[in-house]
Structure formats: structure tokens, C-alpha cells
Amino acid sequence: MAGNPDAAHPPVVDRSTFEEHLERLRVREKAHTREGDAIAAARRRLPMVEVAGDSPILGPDGPTTLLDAFEGRRQLIAYYFMWWPGRPAADQCEGCTWVVSQVGELAYLHSRDITFAVFSQGRNTAYGFADAQESYEESVKYRNFMGWSVPWYSAQPALGSLLVGREPGLFHLVCYLREGDRVFETYWTKRRGAEVVDHSYALMDLTAFGRQEAWEDSPAHWPRLTQATRTLSGAPDWTPLEQPSGGRPTAQWPRLDAHHCDDLGTSPSGPAQPGEPGHCH
């Protein structure tokens, strides 16, 4: 960690000076909001491309289709979740865990005829596919361990066609529109585009120290705690992770503290054998 969080702070000024600086920033914030509105308006005017509504996916009741994932609604937002098949919960994607952990109440989306669902990819960019049904069952165990209630599918059976032109294994948000039995793709994003579902980073951005990540443009002595999505420990220390591997996705620690079992039926080297212990804590 760089900097001293106990010593670092913005300069102290009187109230009128503070409000003067804030008002100057408000001008930029309002321009940013208006530009965001203009971009959203342009997004609503994009063309769309047809995709196969009968694309096969796996759901809780077995094989199903992309069309069925709409649950009868007109629109669908699918989050394509990176997945390490045959690996324990601690090894799963911290970025995807962060994204889905932000998604709670779905009633607001449903009131606008939109279904939100997670499509587990069955792979990530560093590891190829395993058996689709086994990977799906592992991912469902992970969903249950994390306490998520969002609809959950595996897109592995049709991943190549559903993510045509994109790199499977990266996380994506994809928006679809249904016209009867025909399905159209209207928008997609990747990487930081997934921040649209976020509130944690958005709230951090309002604070004096921001996200405390190395890439940010912050004063020289501001604390740098590396990524917030994976840590070496949970409360009360939330020990930062200095290396790219190790620790756990941050949202897992409270689940372990509440004595939820993270056993996905796997071991670090592959699926657990009958009678082999899992990773319950």
C-alpha cells in the first residue's frame, strides 16, 4: 500500500471556499450527466441484428433456449459470467462476482418488461471448456453459496454463436429484444462497461480517496489499496491483495463468516472425487 491514509487528506478550507470549489465541479458533473443522456438516446437509435431464438442453453430444468430465458418479457439483459470449470470457489472470477453481487431487486426491471439473467460461459480466457452440465451445476452451487437469486443459465452449448465476433471467456452484458418468436441483439458491452450495474465503485468515486486503485489520477500521497474485488482476508482488515492471484473474491468473505458452504464439488486440480472433502469453512 502506498501513502499513509492516516495522514493523507484534502486541504482544509472554510465553508464558502469549499462551496465555491464544489460549484465549479458541479458544472462538469452536469455536463457529464447531459452527455450520458445523449449517449443513451443514441443507443436507443441503434439498429439491431437477429440471433437464433432457439439457441440452446442450460437452465434449472435442463436444456432450454434463449427465447425461454426472456420469461415471457419483451426484453432480456444477459450477463455472461466467466467461469473456471473444476475449480473451487476461491478461484472464481472476482470481477464477475463483483458484478452479480451488485444486482439485487429485479422488480424495477420487470416493471419495464425486462428480464435480467446470468449466462455462465463454462470457461474463461485462460481455460477451455469442460463438460457443460458439470460446469453448470458447479456454477449453480456458486450462485447458491453467494446467496444470489437471479435467473441462472449456462450459455456454453451456444456460446460461439451467442458471442459471435467477441472473445468468449470475457465478461459481457448483452441486451436482446423479442418480437414474437424472433430474437434480436440490440447492444453489448464488455470490461468496464459492466460498471453500469455497480453501486460500490460509484459510491467510492464520491469519496475523497476514490477507489484507491493504482490507475486512478489521485494526489501523490493518497492511499493505494489495489483492487477492491479480491482480498486476502475479510473483516475487519480486508487485507489488500498485492499480487494478481491469491485470496478470494471480496464478496465471499461475509458468506464464509455466516458459515455458508463454498463446496462446489471441485478441487484445485479438478472435480472432487466421491468422498473427497470440499471447501466448507
Q: What is the spatial distance between Cα 65 and Cα 218, in angstroms, rounded to a whole number?
A: 47
Q: Using CA atoms of 163, 164, 165, 170 in order, give the dihedral in degrees to the nearest 10.
A: 20
pLDDT band at 115 (very low <50, low <70, confident <90, very high): very high
Which cell is 245 given?
492471484
Query: Whole-prediction pTM value?
Result: 0.89
For residue 271, the model assigns a pLDDT of: 41
- Name the more confident of 216 and 50: 50
Question: For residue 255, is pLDDT > 80?
Answer: yes
For residue 193, the model assigns a pLDDT of: 86
Residue (of 70, 89, 118) closest to 249 by Cα position: 89
C-alpha distances in angstroms, 233 versus 98, 180, 229?
16, 49, 12
pLDDT digits (tens, 9 = 90+) for 42-81: 999 999 999 999 999 999 999 999 999 999 999 999 999 9
Question: For residue 233, is pLDDT > 80?
Answer: yes
